[in-house]
Amino acid sequence: MQEDKSTIAFTGKSNVAPFHEVSVEWHNIADNNIPPIEWTQVHAIVNYNGKVLVVSKTTNGDTMIHVPGGHIEGDEDLETALRREILEETGGTLVSWKPLGYQKRTDGQGKITHQVRAYAEVEDVKSEIVDVDGLVSYTKSIDVEEMLDVLGWNNPIGERIFELVAGEFNQE
């Protein structure tokens, strides 16, 4: 019998500064049925010419590698926010996207955020960064097999995200 990985719970140190203890629940999104939740962030595993795009971001003095994405602003929907974040952080144009799942993340102070994770295909990535916040210092491409190590996602949720996207890159 195959293990049900549609919902996964993980507790550990955040891979984002300030690296506090967090509790994260992963929930798959099937058939693009995105639940009506107040979303705070959207991030994508971005496929650009068969490679995963990652960005170097500096937050609170700590520089880390992330996938493109960020906070949803004002009355943006998920796609509009994702399109904007990808443009700001990679200079690229969103061609298509599909939701993979979402994280309900509870930090050490009990604050809950809901973050969508998606797979996206982009084109026209530029060498110049237009990140208005000034947090992104560079964008680079990596092989999908490097994703977990480069992003520090060696946990059950990162492994599930990898399982959901790996085949998309191997189709190239």
Residue 63's pLDDT is what?
A: 78
Q: What is the pTM of this model?
A: 0.86
End-to-end CA distance of the chain: 31
**In whole angstroms, what separates CA 114 from the centre of its chain?**
12
Residue 148's pLDDT is what?
A: 95
DSSP H helices, 28-170, are 78-90, 147-151, 156-170
What is the per-residue pLDDT across 70-99, written as a single tens digit (0 to 9) for each? Answer: 999 999 999 999 999 999 889 899 999 999
Q: Does domain 7-170 correspond to CATH entry 3.90.79.10?
A: yes
The helix (H) or strand (E) run that includes residue 63 is strand 62-66
User: DSSP letter at 138?
Assistant: E
Residue 19's pLDDT is what?
A: 57
What is the per-residue pLDDT across 19-50, written as a single tens digit (0 to 9) for each? Answer: 567 788 899 998 999 999 999 999 999 999 99
Q: Where are the domains of the chain?
A: 7-170
